[in-house]
Amino acid sequence: MFQKGLKDVVAVHTKIASVDGEKGELRYRGELVDKIVSNATFEQLSTYLWTGTKEPVSLLLKEGRELPEHVSKLLLNLPINLQVMDVLKVAVSAYGTPSFLQKSQYEQSVILTAALPVIVAFYYRRQQDLEPLASQENLGHTANFLYLLTGISPTPAQVEALETYLLLTMEHGLNASTFAARVTISTESDIPSAIVSALGTMKGPLHGGAPSGVLALLDEMKSPEGVRPVIEEKLARGERIMGFGHRIYKTEDPRSIVLREKCLSLQGKDAWLDLATYAEKEIIHLLNEHKPGRKLYTNVEFYAAAIMRAINLDPTLFTPTFSVARIVGWTAHAMEQAEDNTIFRPQSVYIGKTFV
């Protein structure tokens, strides 16, 4: 049976997560995501996705915060004008040393999860002509990431906002980047290679670039008064409204509901969050008016962009920050694939010319 893009084809049995687009449910190991993120840290929830337990692997995470010398030197010698996603691919590849690959897949997964935000911050600060910073032992994973970017201890509200986003985007079923990671591991390749495959997929604008598109939309609207004319003009031209609609969810994206509540709790403290909460209501009304029956609801990228702007995250860091979260899902799936492996080998149908 041919199914373009493998849409709706079941390729994997998994215990990691489930996505029900009709009900608007995302579950991590059977638990609804909106419930599980309310009282979990990054360390706890990542461990839960990896192992099914919530005891955080803090020692390994802290070990991963110190980059190997050859990786640090590599980051100092790469061209200054690379995209951070490309830097991540190169840096993660550099972890594929014999000594690192002797570690268990679990240890590799934890260390690389800890290293990813350090790599992002290291190269970003270099682009800003700033010295890289050492991780702070007393800070958790999310707070340390913000500190490494800015050199300033983040406020609890900033940490809470970003950590909520990271927890909600750690895992989302067999999406494009996760599938790429599982395909790579299915060849009996290694964890760094699987992550590099996933990063290459995440770089594509159809997968990892959506928050940047939402930011451009908010920029274009500028104020509540600009929402209706901008959206009506885009709809008249047949343009897609970034941050609305999802390939899977036919109702509200459960992650956007949690992020909306976070934005509402910070209302009045940031103009971008205020604009986002106002714009969402207006855009939903216009979409229902112009595209009745299409079931176009707010997706996670809409409020993710607003939150990232509220914490002053540079737009070039949106997709790398998405990757800082999603590496947990990639590695969880890679380890699950390796436990009961069959190489992925779908068929293709030739439709070109045949010559005698």
* Catalytic site positions: 246, 301
Cβ count near 35 (within 10 Å): 12
Q: 31-32 and 25-28 as β-strands: parallel, antiparallel, unpaired?
A: antiparallel
Say how far apart CA 64 and CA 77 lie, in whole Å.
21
Q: Say which residues have a Cβ less than 8 Å from residue 242's Cβ, sequence separation at least 6.
A: 210, 213, 214, 216, 217, 301, 302
Nearest CA to 17 out of 52, 56, 42 is that of 52
Contact between residue 197 and residue 184 where contact means Cβ atoms under 8 Å apart? yes
- DSSP labels for 250-281? SS--HHHHHHHHHHHHTTTS-HHHHHHHHHHH
Residues whose CB is less than 8 angstroms from the CB of residue 234 and which lie 6 or more positions away in sequence, other chains included: 241
Amino acid letter, residue 70:
H
Q: Rounded distance, CA 111 to CA 90, Å?
A: 16
What one-character DSSP code corresponds to residue 1? -
Q: Order across the sheet with 31-32: list the strands.
A: 17-20, 25-28, 31-32
d(C-alpha 261, C-alpha 161), whole Å: 10
- Residue 112 near residue 327, CB atoms below 8 Å: yes
Supply 161's token pair: 């906002």
Strand residue runs (E) in the chain: 17-20, 25-28, 31-32
